[in-house]
């Protein structure tokens, strides 16, 4: 499990957007090294209570799902996730080329709280998160997951801005 001597667990918050792909690319190019474990944290804001996994794992999040299993559409769908092919391809390449173990944990609820909870439970060496590039006004009105996590996480957090901005 995370925290064992000699193991380094790097977290990455993913929502399968351009911003999270940019963060994953940055982590692969600048942070990950052979033997690391990459934990993808995917938070679904609106749980689908029709799915048994949501009811079963809502409080703690899903068990750790190997990327090879999560790449199967039926497995991802079982947890309510909709990963894109580009992200899955990038992660499978990182697994092979960098010799990194990639696992996914699906969480349900407020992304800010769930990411900080996951950081505390693992514990992670660090977390990489993408930024949607909200302008100051939108950030004040909508709040920012990355701002919240930076200020409340118990591990170092790197925020990677996407080249594409949203206002």
Interval 22-47: pLDDT, tens: 999 999 999 999 999 999 999 998 76
Return the domain boundaries, the chain.
Answer: 9-161
167 confidence band (pLDDT: 50, 70, 90): very low
Q: What are phi and psi of 151, to 5 degrees?
A: -85, -15
- The pLDDT assigned to 50 comes to 59
Confidence at 141, pLDDT banded by 50, 70, 90: very low
Residues forming a β-bridge with 3: none
E strand map for the chain:
9-13, 37-44, 65-66, 101-108, 126-131, 157-161
Report the pLDDT value the prediction gives residue 70, as an integer from 0 to 100.
95
Question: What's the confidence (pLDDT) of residue 68?
Answer: 94
The DSSP string of 152-166 is: H-SS-EEEEE-SS--
pLDDT above 80: residue 49: no
What's the CATH code, domain 9-161?
3.40.50.620
């Amino acid at each position: 499990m995370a925290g064992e001597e000699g193991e380094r667990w790097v977290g990455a918050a993913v929502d399968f957007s351009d911003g999270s792909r940019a963060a994953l690319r940055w982590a692969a190019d600048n942070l990950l090294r052979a033997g690391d474990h990459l934990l993808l944290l995917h938070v679904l804001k609106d749980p689908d209570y029709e799915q048994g996994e949501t009811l079963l794992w809502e409080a703690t999040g899903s068990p750790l799902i190997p990327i090879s299993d999560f790449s199967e559409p039926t497995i991802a769908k079982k947890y309510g996730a909709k990963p894109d092919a580009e992200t899955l391809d990038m992660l499978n390449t990182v697994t092979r080329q960098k010799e990194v173990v990639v696992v996914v944990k699906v969480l349900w609820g407020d992304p800010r709280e769930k990411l900080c909870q996951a950081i505390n439970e693992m514990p992670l060496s660090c977390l990489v998160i993408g930024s949607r590039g909200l302008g100051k006004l939108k950030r004040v009105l909508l709040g920012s997951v990355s701002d919240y996590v930076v200020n409340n996480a118990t591990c170092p957090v790197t925020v990677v801005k996407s080249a594409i901005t949203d206002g």
